[in-house]
């Protein structure tokens, strides 16, 4: 009997050892290990940005206010990429690095259209960890993504999710943006400007906004593709702003039903509703609309030129026309095919630089 008890005890001990080994919290699965490794490698590149603004009360007494956001160190020189709305209207910027040290920040450049900005800290290079940049072309819904930021001031918080959609543009309330990544990773106030990472730990986006009826994260967040930032980074650093091509017209999309109702010579295209006096289109002789008419539920400005092609590329909508314009630079010459009345014409326009808005 004693031998049987010994064997039984040994068997129970072996079973308990196996169960304990499999239940230990140190046994991470592959995806967990990947997430942990990325966070440990990248989180030091994320900074907390405190924006200090000054308002005045009824008696003109200054009242300082603070707001916080996130940013990513992009090189050892101290340049930090963030959102324009994080630093907008700021009187002073304070940057908190991963080691807890605080440094004054200097605005280098900002671009309201892409909601991106670059700031700089004069910290020693050994205190700075540059974030690895990836490629946002080819992103697909379902890809794993990680977001690191400072939501509600909670520094270097990690959230995970997937890409929900890759959108050409979004419009939600006052928010209107082109080329955005929609994600379901939790994004909250303070995450703005922080990096969106892929499963390799490379930055593929800049977290910028959430859609929320409640004020908290509901799983609909948006990030600016990193390739958008790459295209303008040099201008932001060297010039402080981004120069966009400008033709100086307001447009409306011509739909086939509108063309039929108005007896127009083309079925689709871009109607020139207004031409800015003194702008590039005005100097080239482009004509805007002369009267307003109601067609169904739409109000159209008619009597102006109808654009149908730019540099040989057909444009069937105002959105398509503006997408073509975005690929141009100030000083470029574009060849427009248009209809004026029932006459088809070709006009060359030298594009100018779009007037800049204040930051």
List Cα–Cα distances, 261 to 271, 291, 293, 301, 347, in angstroms. Answer: 15, 15, 11, 14, 27
Helix (H, G, I), strand (E, B) or coil at 319: helix
CB-based contacts of 287, cutoff 8 Å, min separation 6: 272, 275, 303, 304, 305, 340
> Which residue out of 68, 72, 192, 217 is catalytically annotated?
192
Is the separation of the CB atoms in 72 and 118 below 8 Å?
no
Q: How many helices (H) and strands (E) does the chain have?
A: 7, 22
Burial class (CB in 10 A: 0-12, 13-18, 19+), 56: exposed
Residue in 85, 111, 217, 305 annotated catalytic:
85
Rounded Cα distance between 222 and 224, Å, is 7
115 is catalytic: yes
Take residue 15 and report the two structure tokens written for it: 């079973």
User: Distance (Å, rounded) from C-alpha 324 to C-alpha 314?
Assistant: 10
DSSP state, 317? S
What is the rounded distance in angstroms from the CA atom of residue 44 to the CA atom of residue 196? 14
**Considering only CA atoms, which of 297, 290, 303 is closest in space to residue 262?**
303
Separation CA 354–CA 329 (nearest Å) = 10
Can you say how many angstroms the Cα of residue 115 is from the centroid of all Cα atoms in its chain? 6
Q: Is 85 a catalytic residue?
A: yes
The separation between CA 341 and the C-alpha centre of its own chain, rounded to angstroms, equals 41
Q: Which of 111, 115, 184, 305 is catalytic?
A: 115
* 192 is an active site residue: yes
Helix, strand, coil: what percent of the chain each, to 5? Answer: 25, 40, 35
Active site residues: 85, 115, 192
């Amino acid at each position: 009997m004693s031998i049987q008890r010994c064997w039984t005890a040994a068997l129970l001990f072996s079973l308990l050892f196996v169960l304990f080994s499999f239940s230990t919290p140190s046994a991470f699965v592959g995806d967990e290990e990947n997430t942990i490794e990325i966070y440990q490698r990248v989180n030091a590149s994320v900074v907390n940005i405190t924006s200090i603004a000054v308002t005045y009360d009824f008696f003109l007494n200054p009242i300082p206010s603070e707001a916080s956001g996130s940013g990513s160190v992009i090189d050892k020189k101290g340049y930090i990429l963030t959102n324009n709305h994080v630093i907008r209207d700021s009187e002073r910027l304070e940057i908190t690095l991963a080691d807890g040290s605080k440094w004054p920040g200097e605005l280098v450049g900002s671009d309201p259209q892409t909601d991106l900005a670059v700031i700089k800290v004069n910290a020693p290079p050994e205190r700075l960890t540059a974030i690895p940049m990836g490629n946002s072309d080819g992103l697909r819904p379902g890809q794993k993504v990680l977001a690191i930021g400072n939501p509600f001031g909670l520094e270097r918080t990690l959230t995970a999710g997937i890409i929900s959609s890759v959108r050409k543009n979004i419009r939600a309330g006052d928010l209107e943006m082109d080329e955005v990544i929609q994600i379901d990773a939790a994004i909250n106030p303070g995450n703005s400007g922080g990096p969106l990472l892929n499963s390799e730990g490379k930055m593929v986006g800049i977290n910028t906004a959430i859609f929320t009826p409640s004020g908290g994260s509901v799983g609909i967040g948006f990030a600016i593709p990193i390739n958008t930032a790459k295209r303008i980074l040099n201008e932001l650093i060297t010039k402080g702003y981004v120069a966009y091509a400008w033709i100086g017209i307001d447009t409306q999309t011509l739909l086939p039903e509108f063309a039929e109702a108005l007896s127009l010579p083309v079925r689709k295209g871009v109607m020139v509703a207004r031409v800015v006096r003194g702008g590039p289109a005005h100097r080239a002789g482009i004509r805007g609309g002369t009267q307003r008419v109601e067609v169904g539920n739409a109000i159209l400005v008619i009597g102006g030129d109808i654009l149908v092609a730019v540099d040989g590329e057909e444009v069937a909508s105002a959105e398509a026309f503006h997408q073509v314009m975005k690929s141009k630079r100030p000083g470029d010459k574009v060849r427009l095919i248009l209809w004026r009345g029932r006459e088809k014409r070709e006009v060359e326009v030298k594009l100018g630089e779009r007037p800049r808005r204040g930051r």
